[in-house]
Structures are given as structure tokens and as C-alpha cells.
Amino acid sequence: MKWPEKLLQGRLLKRYKRFLADVVLDNGEEITVHCPNTGAMTGCAELGSRVYLLNSHNPKRKYAYTWELVKSGCGGMICIHSARANNLVAEALVVGLIAPLARYTDIQREKTLVSGSRIDFFLSSNEGVADCYVEVKSVTLHCGDGVGAFPDAVSARAVRHIEELLALQQQGMRVVLLFAVLHEDIERVRPAAEIDPLYARTFKSAVEQGLEVLAYKAVMNEDEIFLAEPLPVVL
């Protein structure tokens, strides 16, 4: 995905009320911007960090700019706009970049299940492969030494998503949990047992029952952002 225009740069003053952040631009002007991430954002919202903003050009918005990227203390870029993960996965699926899922020709987003819940992607094909449900999780928590972890806060919703995938598997469907790693310093991914032990236990049990788990890392800069390479997932 190419950014629709040049990103505005500045330094982070503070993030607050979950959805807001104050930024001082390189010209010295201080502005309030929209923070599109409701998570803990551990390590992604350090005072003074260089941030990159995108103008929405929406006159109805109180805060015109959206915080998109931040440079980490290690020098890598991080995309804190968690909703970007699904768009990046969609682009990667279309061009066949995600090798284990490359045979699927029909891609449906936000598939509604009988229960009323929605799964991020439903993949199908006329090539004789089983229909596949894919749930995407954005990873930005860097634990050091190249290790990324999910989730960055206790998440009953993430546990429920694994349970829903297993229920679909019992109906004969292929099910995949895909970590979209939006932190360039991360080289491998694991469940964050120290943050959410229940999620880690559920994750490990699901893998033992046949849940497929993939991880792909994004490359990002001032011009574009895209998924580029697979990463290992460790239990």
C-alpha cells in the first residue's frame, strides 16, 4: 500500500484517552492527532519518538491527522494503526505473497458466521482445496532480542477468536491464525504468556489440535507499507 500523500513528521509529546496524541511538528507547531490503536502500545508511544502522520482531508473530523508510524528506539519502523493489518493481508493474498494460502482465488472479507461473529477472511477456490477461514492479529509488542509477542494486554476477544476457529475446524474447514507483524525489529513471534496466560494456553492447545499459525512481517517507510516476509512462530 502506498501512502496517498507525503506523511507529516514530528515528535510525540504524549498519548492519552486511548484515541488521542499530542505531537510537536518539525516546524515547532503542536497539534492533537487521532491515535487509531486502543491497545497498550507498549514500547510504541515513548516520549520524543519520531512519528509519521497522515492527513485525512475530512472536514468533519475534529482532528485532521491520523498517527500511522513511529520509529522505535532500535531504529525500526512500527505501524501503530492496527486496522492496517487486514488491508495489508488482503493485498498480500491477492498477489499470492502468502505462500501457504496462494492457491485460493476467491477472497471474502468480514465473513459472518452462523453465530453472528465475523471472521477476517474467508478463502475459497475451485482448485480442490478446502475452504479456509483466516483470523488476523496485529503484532507490535517487541520484547527484545527480536522477539515479538501477542497480545499486548489481556484479551478475552482474542481467546474467543481461537475458539471460533477451532469450531470451524470441527466442521471440516481449514483454519489459520495469521500474525501481521507491524514492527520491523521483530524477527519471531510467540504468545505473550506473561501478559495473558489464558490466551497462551488456548493458543498452544489450538496448535496441538491442528490450528495453522502464520506470521508475516511488514516493511514500511514514508512512501509505502507492505507485507514482505514470513517469520517463525514459537510456542
- pTM equals 0.95
Write down the pLDDT at residue 126.
85
105 shares its domain with 70: no
16 shares its domain with 64: yes
45 shares its domain with 118: no
User: Among 19, 45, 78, where does a domain finish?
Assistant: 78
Write down the pLDDT at residue 162.
97
pLDDT in tens, 170-210: 999 999 999 999 999 999 999 999 999 999 999 999 999 99
66 shares its domain with 110: no
67 shares its domain with 94: no
Residue 209 within any structural domain of the chain: yes
Domain, as residue range, for 159: 84-230
Tell me how far apart the alpha carbons of residues 81 and 61 are, in angstroms, rounded to a whole number: 17
- Residue 89: phi, psi to the nearest 5? -65, -40
120 shares its domain with 64: no
Residue 235 within any structural domain of the chain: no
98 shares its domain with 136: yes
Q: Are 105 and 93 in contact (CB under 8 A)?
A: no
User: Among 46, 78, 110, where does a domain finish?
Assistant: 78
Write down the pLDDT at residue 174.
96
161 shares its domain with 221: yes
Domain count, the chain: 2
User: Among 78, 95, 123, where does a domain finish?
Assistant: 78
CATH code of the domain in which 220 resides: 3.40.1350.60
25 shares its domain with 89: no
113 shares its domain with 58: no
28 shares its domain with 98: no
Write down the pLDDT at residue 109.
96
Residue 3 within any structural domain of the chain: no
- Residue 141's nearest CA partner among 192, 68, 178, 176 is 192
Residue 1 within any structural domain of the chain: no
Residue 118 within any structural domain of the chain: yes
pLDDT under 70: residue ranges of the chain? none
The per-residue DSSP string of 141-155 comes to EEEETTEEEE-SS--
206 shares its domain with 226: yes
CATH code of the domain in which 30 resides: 2.40.50.580
Write down the pLDDT at residue 39.
86
According to DSSP, the residues that pair with 81 across neighbouring strands are none
Grid cell listed for 97: 505473497
Write down the pLDDT at residue 117.
85
